[in-house]
A and B are shown apart, each in its own frame.
Chain A
């Protein structure tokens, strides 16, 4: 049972826009910046977004992040087959005194 709640799956067709959600509480998402990690199966996670909507160098602007209250979202526009991966949200949790992760959303590109 993850502290942050993510839908287990999402899908979209090539070129489409897809969004995925991450729901938390006032002790985590509501008060701290949210990060997103992309993990292609069999490989290590990669930082995709930090502090709600900041992209690390090299991450294309097709990826966007937003947050409202205790929920955050990751958007991917112009969906590409290479975007097929698991996406995890995370943030600092003041109750845990450490970072917490969502259970992950597996994105399928049809």
Chain B
């Protein structure tokens, strides 16, 4: 059974940094691209970033480009999202997802971790 468990969410001030992690199990992690999707409180889903199975290709939404960095450790079956220069608009629940098709179809989702940016 595929399991994805996010961690690292916190309350922090604008301009701060945070690293989210996602522990994956139940599948061969390195064979699949992974994606981060976020959801602001009471709002819809927004794609954040995707990374290929071996980590050689990464994509970012314009809203986070230059501030967020996606990475993965295939030896540890972990996905990461380094978030810098956080703003109020980054407040959201962040989900990690296993892709069926690179960045285009998210077939399994974690339960999410809440990031709150507030002054």
Contact = CB atoms under 8 A, between A and B. Distances in A.
A45 B60 CA distance: 20
Interface in B85-107: 95, 100-101, 103-107
A56 B101 CA distance: 13
B45 to A, nearest CB: 4
- The SS class assigned to the B binding surface is strand
Nearest to A88: B45
A21 interface: no
B59 A98 contact: yes
B35 to A, nearest CB: 8
Interface residues of B, number: 24
Interface in A46-78: 46-47, 50-51, 56
A37 to B, nearest CB: 7
A72 to B, nearest CB: 14
Contacts of B101: 50
B44 A88 contact: yes
B3 to A, nearest CB: 12
Contacts of A90: 45, 47
22 contacts: A2-B44, A32-B104, A37-B45, A44-B95, A44-B111, A44-B112, A45-B37, A46-B109, A47-B108, A50-B100, A88-B45, A90-B47, A91-B104, A96-B61, A96-B62, A98-B60, A98-B61, A99-B35, A99-B50, A100-B47, A101-B46, A104-B44
